[in-house]
């Protein structure tokens, strides 16, 4: 059932597409980090910038980071999933092309059209800019998101085709039949399980996005068509929540596939593993109301659902992954090369980042903390120290020379600098949140500025270390192997 269906012989066309993905990913990650550091420097009064520009950069940073995390996740999922099922290279490329077209539209909307409504484009803000941007600029932003969504949908439908062709149903690919029958196939690939979960949740999320994005467009040009603002917010946060969560669930495939290469122990599918992924498939879909805990007009049962599922949602997959990673390294002769270090850091960042997220998912805390810098603190935690290290570990692994034995000391040092500076950068967010510093404010009170200044400095170090990794990885781009 789990025999590898594709030849591991490197195919130049697929390799080229992967290289294009990687170059795009690294370039946009660095640029978006630069935008992030600039925002913190503006708040810290190191740089002067008008609030209009601040909100444009904030929109760019938010949309850009979410998008590029998705693209990076797709490259990891595609890289490993193609070993088990037959994927279409043309659709992998089509996703990248549509992504770039969407990015150009979004850049035009923000930099030329001055759109600064935040990545959330919350209704009715796109249509009510008070003269700051035009309807056409808002439409270009919304249209760009739509184009990007279509690209991802093409990729996921190709994944669905391949999984259905091999396993007959997504339930079987997810391992639900094994859970029901009690006969666990330990050779069932974790990559297939994770990919199926991502396919299910992200297709539903993209569908929700496609509905609200088109209705936003309709409202832009036909203002008499007034959307229910609460419905709009629900759909936007459902779509956004699922999409950003799926980026981690795609990237974690790198942990399942690569960590065993450094520990010498296979990552086998177990009953708790399958149960965790099945449970998370449902919970990722229903947990999104925790983004709306401050909306007192939401039905009470949905808010309670948001809190309860917040406690439960991250735990299953996180637990099996963290436990699995610990089992991998416990008393094992681990080869602590750069990829292994990044992958273990990623599991730590993901696990630790969930803690402030769960705290914010508690209604009584959320009512005080949600509009503070605590929130960017928690999502930077599991994206900057969870998702990004998964991507870096993956990239450093697949770009290694086949017989590479010597360690690059500069990259090793870069790893520690990145880790420490990222931790400090994140702690400044969390500490600012504890000190009640509001988020999404272009200008801060004098008492808050020292936090911003420290954050800007730590952010600059993170940016420089990422720039260093980018240069190293781009130099190794020609070494990338599809069978690594």
Partner 1 sequence: MTDNFRQAMFVMLVPVIIISHHWLETSMTSHMAVQLPLLVFVGALFAGLLQTYSPRLVVFGQRYRISLLLYSLFTISLWMLPRLLDAALYQSSIAFLKWLSLPLAGISLVLCWRHLPFVLRGILHLELLATLLRLGWLYLIAPQRYCVSYGINDQQQLGHVLLGYAAVYGLFLASSVLLGGRRAN
Binding positions for partner 1, rule: CB under 8 A: 88, 91, 153-154, 157-158, 160-162, 164-165, 167-172, 200, 203, 207, 210-211, 214-215, 218, 224-228, 231
What φ, ψ does residue 372 adopt, rounded to 5°?
-110, 175
As measured in angstroms, the least distance from the Cβ of 152 to partner 1 is 12
How far, in Å, are 42, 105, 187, 337, 373 from residue 111 at the CA level?
A: 18, 10, 50, 41, 25
Residue whose tokens read 């980026």: 247
Nearer of residues 167 and 382 to partner 1, judged by Cβ:
167
Nearer of residues 5 and 45 to partner 1, judged by Cβ:
5
What φ, ψ does residue 155 adopt, rounded to 5°?
-65, -45
CA 392 to chain centre: 13
Give the residue from 300, 291, 275, 193 showing the smallest Cα distance to 242. 291
As measured in angstroms, the least distance from the Cβ of 247 to partner 1 is 21
As measured in angstroms, the least distance from the Cβ of 156 to partner 1 is 9
Sequence-ordered list of residues with C-beta below 8 angstroms from that of 362, at least 6 positions apart, any chain:
307, 310
What φ, ψ does residue 438 adopt, rounded to 5°?
-70, 155
As measured in angstroms, the least distance from the Cβ of 87 to partner 1 is 11
As measured in angstroms, the least distance from the Cβ of 174 to partner 1 is 8
As measured in angstroms, the least distance from the Cβ of 119 to partner 1 is 21
Nearer of residues 164 and 286 to partner 1, judged by Cβ:
164
As measured in angstroms, the least distance from the Cβ of 196 to partner 1 is 10
Nearer of residues 55 and 84 to partner 1, judged by Cβ:
84
Nearer of residues 110 and 200 to partner 1, judged by Cβ:
200
Nearer of residues 297 and 364 to partner 1, judged by Cβ:
297
Nearer of residues 201 and 480 to partner 1, judged by Cβ:
201
Nearer of residues 7 and 224 to partner 1, judged by Cβ:
224
Nearer of residues 85 and 387 to partner 1, judged by Cβ:
85
As measured in angstroms, the least distance from the Cβ of 88 to partner 1 is 8
CA distance 396 to 343: 11
- Could you check whether the bond before residue 44 is cis, i.e. omega within 30 degrees of 0? no
As measured in angstroms, the least distance from the Cβ of 223 to partner 1 is 10
As measured in angstroms, the least distance from the Cβ of 211 to partner 1 is 5
Nearer of residues 209 and 314 to partner 1, judged by Cβ:
209
CA 69 to chain centre: 4
As measured in angstroms, the least distance from the Cβ of 360 to partner 1 is 30
As measured in angstroms, the least distance from the Cβ of 219 to partner 1 is 9
**Rg from Cα positions in the chain:** 22
CA distance 65 to 466: 14
Nearer of residues 25 and 280 to partner 1, judged by Cβ:
280
Nearer of residues 162 and 430 to partner 1, judged by Cβ:
162
């Amino acid at each position: 059932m789990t025999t590898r269906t594709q030849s591991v012989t490197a195919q130049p066309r697929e390799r080229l597409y992967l290289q294009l993905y990687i170059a795009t990913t690294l370039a946009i990650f660095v640029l978006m980090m630069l935008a992030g550091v600039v925002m913190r420097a503006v708040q810290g009064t190191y740089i002067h910038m008008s609030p209009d520009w601040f909100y444009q950069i904030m929109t760019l940073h938010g949309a850009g980071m979410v998008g590029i995390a998705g693209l990076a996740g797709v490259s990891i999922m595609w890289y490993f999933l193609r070993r088990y099922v037959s994927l279409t290279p043309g659709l992998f490329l089509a996703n990248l092309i549509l992504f770039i077209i969407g990015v150009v539209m979004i850049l035009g909307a923000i930099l030329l059209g001055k759109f600064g409504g935040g990545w959330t484009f919350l209704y009715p803000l796109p249509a009510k800019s008070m003269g700051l941007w035009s309807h056409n600029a808002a439409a270009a932003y919304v249209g760009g998101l739509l184009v990007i969504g279509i690209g991802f949908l093409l990729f996921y439908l190709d994944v669905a085709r391949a999984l259905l062709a091999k396993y007959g149903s997504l339930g079987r690919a997810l391992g639900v039949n094994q859970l029901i029958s009690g006969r666990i196939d330990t050779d069932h690939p974790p990559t297939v399980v994770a990919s199926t979960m991502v396919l299910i949740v992200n297709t539903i999320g993209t569908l929700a996005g496609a509905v609200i994005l088109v209705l936003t467009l309709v409202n832009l040009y036909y203002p008499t068509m007034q959307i229910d603002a609460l419905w709009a917010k629900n759909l936007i946060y459902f779509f956004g929540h699922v999409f950003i969560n799926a980026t981690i669930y795609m990237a974690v495939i790198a942990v399942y596939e690569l960590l065993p290469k450094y520990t010498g122990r296979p990552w086998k599918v177990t009953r708790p593993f399958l149960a965790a992924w099945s449970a998370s498939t449902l919970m990722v879909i229903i947990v999104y109301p925790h983004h709306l805990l401050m909306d007192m007009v939401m039905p009470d049962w949905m808010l309670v659902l948001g809190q309860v599922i917040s406690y439960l949602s991250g735990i299953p997959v996180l637990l099996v992954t963290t436990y699995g990673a610990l089992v991998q390294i416990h008393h094992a002769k681990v080869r602590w090369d750069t990829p292994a270090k990044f992958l273990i850091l990623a599991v730590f960042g993901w696990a630790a980042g969930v803690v402030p997220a769960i705290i914010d998912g508690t209604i009584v805390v959320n009512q005080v903390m949600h509009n503070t810098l605590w929130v960017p603190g928690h999502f930077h935690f599991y994206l900057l120290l969870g998702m990004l290290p998964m991507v870096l570990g993956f990239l450093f692994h697949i770009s290694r020379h086949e017989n590479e034995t010597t360690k690059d000391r500069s990259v090793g040092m870069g790893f520690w600098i990145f880790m420490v500076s990222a931790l400090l950068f994140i702690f400044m967010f969390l500490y600012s949140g504890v000190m009640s510093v509001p988020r999404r404010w272009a200008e801060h009170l004098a008492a808050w500025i020292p936090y911003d200044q420290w954050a800007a400095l730590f952010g600059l170090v993170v940016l420089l270390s990422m720039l260093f990794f980018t240069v190293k990885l781009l130099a190794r781009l020609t070494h990338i192997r599809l069978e690594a």
